[in-house]
Amino acid sequence: DLIQGYLGATGATAFAEGHVMTCGTVPAIGGIRPSQHFEMELHDPVLQRSLHHRYEVQVLPEVA
């Protein structure tokens, strides 16, 4: 169980209020396609705040 694994690893007994755990791919409008960078935002319309993240991708040569 992922939640129990997290709690055991952190020593917590429960998720703190406001915490969230996602597993797998978060749905995206239009899907997620290969690119040189990835950018995403999770928006909370109730509290009017967002989390934004971006990273660059370096494609490595295939070795096998």
Domain residue limits at 51: 2-56
**Cα gap 28→40, rounded to integer Å:** 9
Reported as a single tens digit per residue, the pLDDT across 5-58 is: 888 888 888 888 877 777 777 777 787 777 888 888 888 999 999 999 999 988
Distance of CA 17 to the CA centre of its chain: 18
Angle 35-37-23 (CA atoms, 0-180°, nearest 5)? 90
For residue 21, is it within any domain? yes
Q: What is the model's pTM? A: 0.43
Q: Residue 27 falls within a domain, yes or no?
A: yes
Q: Is residue 50 part of a domain?
A: yes
Q: How many domains does the chain have?
A: 1
Residue 64 domain-assigned (yes or no): no
Q: Is residue 63 part of a domain?
A: no
Task: Judge whether 19 lies within some domain.
Answer: yes
